[in-house]
Amino acid sequence: MSEEETKEHRRADSSRRLYFRKRGQRSFHAHVVSYEGALWNDNLILRNYLRAHKEEAFRYGEFKKQILQKGAQTLLDYSNQKNEFVREVLARAKAWHKANT
């Protein structure tokens, strides 16, 4: 990760997670969050909701493709463009989770 990308990651969400990224034949992104913290729980609730609601998962995937097609060049830009959509889906996911636990 370049120094500029590292700074961008810190600005994007420095208080809640760490990002690691490796590019190559086997590329990956890893996010490290506090075990059982708010972000941990939100991510699991969203994941489970999307697994149970395939149409929402499809819409989310399509939305992310649209962001890239519109020209998002950096992770910060991409993340910022996703924020409102993710907040809306997460609100539905939390309501679904509450109703089913």
Cβ atoms 97, 45 nearer than 8 A:
yes
Whole-number percent of the chain with pLDDT over 90 = 61
Q: Which residue has the tokens 């997460």?
A: 90
- Say if residue 55's pLDDT is above 80: yes
- DSSP symbol at 74: S
Rounded to an integer, what distance in angstroms lies between the CA atom of residue 92 and that of residue 79?
19
- Say if residue 4's pLDDT is above 80: no
The predicted pLDDT at position 40 comes to: 93
Cβ atoms 27, 93 nearer than 8 A:
no
CA torsion sign, 31 to 44 to 88 to 59?
positive
pLDDT in tens, 58-99: 999 999 999 999 999 888 898 899 999 999 999 999 999 999
The residues near 38 (Cβ < 8 Å, ≥ 6 apart) are: 16
Rounded to an integer, what distance in angstroms lies between the CA atom of residue 35 and that of residue 44?
11
